[in-house]
Amino acid sequence: MASQAVSMPTATSGNMGADLKPAGQATGPKPCCVCKDEKATRDECMLFSNAKDPQKDCASTIDKYKSCMAGFGFNLP
């Protein structure tokens, strides 16, 4: 019985992430990388608010965060 050598493609730094992004996806900032200050302020307000309804109490900081994200093309509900 003769054995055949199987050729396996090798991973290089040039092709390792080639297939991870869908074709046609625009390259731009990730949502986690923009509006960091606004997000931190919003989170701090929501976590440490003593109000009965923190969402109402922090509405202005939430709106600032949403408008910042919208400026980068991310539409939040």
Q: Which residues are annotated as a binding site for Cu cation?
A: 32-33
50-to-31, 44, 47, 53 alpha-carbon distances in Å? 28, 12, 9, 8
Please state the residue numbers annotated as binding site: 32-33
Residue 18 in contact with residue 48, Cβ under 8 Å? no
Whole-number Å distance between alpha carbons of 58 and 61: 5
